[in-house]
Structure 1
Amino acid sequence: MFQRYDHPVERSHSLVDDTLYRSMFERSGLGIARLDPRRKVLEANADLLNFVGRSIHDVYSRDFVELIHPGVRPGLERQLERLAKDRKGRFAEQVAAVRPDGSTVPTTMTAIAVYGHDTSISALLVILRKENAERGEVKVDQGKVLSDVHARILEGMAAGESTTQLASRLFLSRQGVEYHLGTMLRKLRAPNRPALVSRAYAMGLLSIESWPPRVEPAFVK
Structure 2
Amino acid sequence: MDPTHPDAVVWRNRAFLVFDRVSVPVAVCDVYGAVQLANPAMAAECGTTPGRLRGRDVLELFRPQEATQVDRIAEALRLRHRSRYQVSVRWRAPDGAERYGELTADPVSDTVEETPALLVMLRVLGEREPSTGTPPTRVTAMEARVLALLASGATTAQAARETDLTVDGVNYHLRRLSARWAASNRTELVARAYALGVLAPGVWPPRPAAASVATDDPDGPE
Do the two structures share a fold, i.e. TM-score over 0.5? no
Per the normalisation by structure 1, the TM-score is: 0.44
By relative contact order (CA 8 Å, sep 6+), the higher-ranking structure is: 1
* Structure whose CA Rg is larger: 2
